Amino acid sequence: MKQTKIYRASKDSLNYQIRLAQLTDMPNLLEHYHQTRLYMIESGNPTQWQGYPSKEILTEDIHKKQLYILEAVETDVLQSNHSLLASFVFQLGIEPNYQKIHGQWSNNELNYVTLHRVASNHKLKHTFSEIVKFALYKTKELYGYSYIRIDTHSDNKPMQAALKRTHFVYCGKIFIKHGGERLAYDFLA
């Protein structure tokens, strides 16, 4: 069996790792996204992810080797029996929804990666900054530079705050198939 590369780090005395999700993670992932949807409703964003992502979408992400999990290495720190802190898609290649933008990307010539379906369990603050560090590292490893794109719903205030805190630049609005308008951001380093 091929060994999966794992990214390990530490934050606020918590050891964590980022690794590719596996099909055996599905029950935890489904519960994780369910809890994220409840948090979104509580924070004023009731419509963005209703019924999404589905088990089929998550399975496809796993098969494409683009769904990652950020998990605690020592679960007793969280006083919980499950260590999944965040999940996200790290997508290589052109994102079709980003071809047309009402605004302008920081760069239209460079290859980029896209972060999608970022979800946190909110037990550890600023997990998004750890995801961004990982994405910058992986992108630099692939291309020799780091260029990340992401979008979010206009009602998703926690994500907009996380994007601002991690120095993403607002670029304009995009329109996604089956989902309406989204705010588009990028980060070029």
If you average pLDDT over residues 32-45, what whole number do you get?
89
pLDDT in the model for residue 79: 47
**Predicted confidence (pLDDT) at residue 154 exceeds the cutoff of 90:** yes
Residue 183 CA to residue 51 CA, distance in Å, equals 21
CB 128 within 8 A of CB 172: no
The tens digit of pLDDT for each residue in 73-84 reads: 865 544 454 589
Indicate the pTM of the whole model.
0.89
Question: What's the total number of domains in the chain?
Answer: 1
pLDDT in the model for residue 43: 87
How far is C-alpha 56 from the geometric centre of its chain's CA atoms?
Answer: 18
Residue 180 makes CB contacts below 8 A (sequence gap 6+) with: none
Q: Work out the angle at residue 132's Cα, subtended by the Cα atoms of residues 129 and 134, and round it to the nearest 5 degrees.
A: 115
pLDDT in the model for residue 49: 81
Residue 1 CA to residue 174 CA, distance in Å, equals 41
Residue 112: closest CA among 130, 136, 131: 136
Q: Which structure tokens are listed for 119?
A: 């979800």
Domain assignment present for 129? yes
What is the distance in angstroms between the CA of the first residue and the CA of the last residue of the chain? 35
Write the secondary structure of 74-140 as one string of H (helix), E (strand) and C (coil).
CHHHHCCCCCEEEEEEEEECCCHHHCCCEECCCCCCCCCEEEEEEEECCCCCCHHHHHHHHHHHHHH
**Predicted confidence (pLDDT) at residue 64 exceeds the cutoff of 80:** yes
Domain assignment present for 11? yes
Task: Give the pLDDT band of residue 146 (cuts 50, 70, 90).
Answer: very high
Residue 161 makes CB contacts below 8 A (sequence gap 6+) with: none
Domain assignment present for 1? no
- Longest CA–CA separation in the chain, Å: 47
Instruction: State the chain's mean pLDDT as an integer.
Output: 88
If you average pLDDT over residues 142-169, what whole number do you get?
95
Domain assignment present for 128? yes
Domain assignment present for 76? yes
For the domain that residue 66 is a member of, what is the CATH number? 3.40.630.30
**Predicted confidence (pLDDT) at residue 136 exceeds the cutoff of 70:** yes
Q: Work out the angle at residue 184's Cα, subtended by the Cα atoms of residues 57 and 134, and round it to the nearest 5 degrees.
A: 65
Q: Which domain holds residue 18?
A: 6-188
**Predicted confidence (pLDDT) at residue 45 exceeds the cutoff of 50:** yes
Domain assignment present for 27? yes
Domain assignment present for 167? yes
Domain assignment present for 174? yes
pLDDT in the model for residue 51: 81
